[in-house]
Amino acid sequence: MEEEQEKDAARRHREKMEKRKAVQDAEVAGKTIAQKGLLMVHTGSGKGKSTAAFGLALRALGHGWKVGVVQFGKGGWRSGEREMLEKLGEVSWHTLGEGFTWETQDRARDEAAARRAWETACALMDDPEIRLLVLDELNISLRYDHLPLGEVVERLAARREGLHIVVTGRNAKPEMIAAADLVTEMTLVKHHFAAGVKAQEGIEF
């Protein structure tokens, strides 16, 4: 009796998976665009936006791609991901921010730093060898109006064919979201910082 029940359960599972596979195969078959340079946005109040972008950079490097990174808001401190990715080679990394805007307390300096970072980003977009470009914390520069939103979104939308771009930072503007091919929102459920835990090497940087 038990053996028959197990056989019946296995049969029902197989039939269920066959139906699921048919649906999945049909969905995949309906996709007609083989290759497209994507504009991806990682936003939201939760931790992990930049971390996910650097994970994507690692994946790209694994396929032999050349990767560009421009950090807009973060200062000159070296992070673990930078140390590791640069060791792997084929990474053009530029940290051009001067720290968080509440640390500089100088709007003119923040705007100048954002402009330098954006000009570097544009140069990397024009570099035909770069296949993935991470624009880390660009959303923050746009949130504080350190760069003209229209100029940035228009330039990203006009990226060359085959170039993938990842934009990170909370509070992504609606125009950025509308222009993107993929938007992921990191949702804050719980964060150790609220319990008094400081940023830790290997976790936050």
Q: Is 64 among the domain residues?
A: yes
**pLDDT-based confidence at residue 66 (cuts at 50, 70, 90):** very high
pLDDT of residue 28: 65
Residues 51 and 110 in one domain: yes
Residues 25 and 118 in one domain: no
Average pLDDT over residues 79-91: 86
- The CA–CA distances, whole Å, from 37 to 51, 136, 195 equal 21, 18, 41
Which tokens sit at 180? 């993107």
Q: Is 88 among the domain residues?
A: yes
Residues 183 and 106 in one domain: yes
Residues 21 and 95 in one domain: no
Residues 100 and 15 in one domain: no
Residues 123 and 44 in one domain: yes
**Dist. CA 161–CA 106, nearest whole Å:** 37
Angle between helices 80-88 and 49-62 (to 10 degrees): 10
Residues 177 and 137 in one domain: yes
Q: What is the pTM of this model?
A: 0.84
When mean pLDDT is compared across 94-103, 158-167, 179-188, 189-198, the lowest value belongs to: 94-103
Q: Is 69 among the domain residues?
A: yes
Which tokens sit at 25? 């195969």
Half-sphere exposure of 128 (CA within 13 A, CB side): 0
pLDDT of residue 99: 56
Q: Is the dihedral of CA 165, 171, 172, 177 positive or negative?
A: positive
Q: What is the pLDDT of residues 122-175, one digit of tens each?
A: 999 999 999 999 999 999 999 999 999 999 999 999 999 999 999 999 999 999
**Dist. CA 48–CA 66, nearest whole Å:** 23
Per the listing, tokens 């949130």 go with 143
Residues 16 and 49 in one domain: no
Q: What is the pLDDT of residues 100-133, one digit of tens each?
A: 555 556 788 889 999 999 999 999 999 999 999 9
Residues 101 and 45 in one domain: yes
Any residues with CB less than 8 A from the CB of 107 and at least 6 apart, and which? 101, 146
Q: Is 58 among the domain residues?
A: yes
Q: How many domains does the chain have?
A: 2
The residue segments making up the domain with residue 1 are 1-32
Residues 70 and 91 in one domain: yes
Q: Is 200 among the domain residues?
A: no
Q: Is 202 among the domain residues?
A: no
Residues 136 and 173 in one domain: yes
Which tokens sit at 89? 């080679």
**Dist. CA 70–CA 125, nearest whole Å:** 11
